[in-house]
Amino acid sequence: MPPVTCHLRYEIDPSKLDAFERFARRWITLVERSGGQHHGYFLPSEGASDVAYALFTFPSLAAYEEYRQGFGHDPDFLAADLIREESGCVLRYERSFLRPVLDGDLRA
């Protein structure tokens, strides 16, 4: 099974960037605790001030689905999501799944 990378595109409230950063730091810990590798959250710097991104990888789609089982009942997941809910820092998000190409072999 190939690894799967989740790409998240967030539309955020720029006036609530501190809350979004707290939210992001919690989720980085949760992904890594659950066996994934978090590649970070990427916050606005130049250009659009209301768009942020996140990337993380799990060894397989099955491993990602196992991680998702914590949503809605694990106290740490609930606490992380509460930051988003109470602050209103995330206005909308989109999730895509990607397959990384990691080998630079030119024969393919």
Domain count along the chain? 1
The CATH number assigned to the domain holding 50 equals: 3.30.70.100
Q: Is 9 within the bounds of a domain?
A: yes
Q: Which domain holds residue 30?
A: 4-98
Q: What is the pLDDT of residue 108?
A: 56
Note the pLDDT of residue 105.
63
**Structural domain includes residue 104:** no
Encode pLDDT of 35-83 as tens digits: 999 999 999 888 779 999 999 999 999 999 999 988 878 899 999 999 9
Q: Determine the Cα–Cα distance for residues 25 and 48; give it in Å rounded to an integer.
A: 22
- Per-residue confidence band for 107, with pLDDT thresholds at 50, 70 and 90: low
In a domain, 107, yes or no: no
Whether residue 38 contacts residue 31, with contact meaning beta carbons closer than 8 Å, is answered with yes
Band of pLDDT at residue 99, cut at 50, 70 and 90: confident
Let me know if residue 73 belongs to a domain.
yes
Residue 71 lies in a domain: yes
